[in-house]
Amino acid sequence: MPTPTHVPAGTDVLADAVRRLVDAVVRTQVPAATVTEAAAAVDAVTAALSGDLREGPYTPDLTDPFGNPVSLVTGPAHPYAPPVRIVAGADGATARFRLGSTYEGPPGLVHGGMLALVLVLDHVLGQAALGAGHGGMTVSLELTYLAPTAIGSDLVAQAHVVSVDGRKVSLVGSVRSGDTTTVTARGLFLALDREKAAALFPHLTAS
């Protein structure tokens, strides 16, 4: 089994600080000189962190498929992740999260693409498939937007498997704000067998 990528202690704290930084960048009204000074300070921090960078893709801990600390969606050590907290099992997946100004689209509202793609429903459906024993890759994702989603609101996303046909796994999901369902989703995933997983992720199957 491959050795998981080392994530330095405190990276989650750093990522949370970067989230606050990004939020400040998109909302700041300070003078231009202050912005210039801040950019120089950020460049200095970036240079310090770049002193030792990993090469190649991240290698997760295969004994914990739900625990990737640098996941784009759920990773506490990934500054772009909200992060989303997901509980997944055989009956489906439930995620709780909040999207602030970093993810704003229309004024005061979450960008619809953030709720769709990569970042919420696609991931939650994928985790539901994995929890049900059908981990695989997205083939299609169909969304219906029912209501705007306000930034800063407490959101719940849910998904579950509705049918399995060979390697084809069909799922449905939704995002809810309070009692209002703002988005529904229907997805098709293709479960990976060992051979296809090895072809896609050779670094995970190497001894």
Q: How far out from the chain centre does Cα 132 lie?
A: 19
| 1-207, CATH topology level | Thiol Ester Dehydrase; Chain A (3.10.129)
**Adjacency order of strands within the sheet including 136-145:** 85-89, 92-98, 154-165, 168-177, 180-191, 136-145
pLDDT in tens, 82-102: 888 889 889 999 999 999 999
| Domains of the chain by residue range | 1-207
Rounded CA separation 61/53 (Å): 19
* 57-85 pLDDT tens trace: 888 776 666 678 888 888 899 999 888 88
In the structure, what pLDDT confidence band is assigned to residue 155 with cuts at 50, 70 and 90? very high
What is the average pLDDT value for the chain, to the nearest integer? 88
Side chain identity at 133, as an amino acid letter? Answer: G
Measured distance CA(188)–CA(61) in Å, rounded: 26
Could you give the percent of the chain with pLDDT greater than 70?
87
Instruction: Specify the pTM.
Output: 0.81
Q: Given this model, what pLDDT does residue 118 score? A: 45
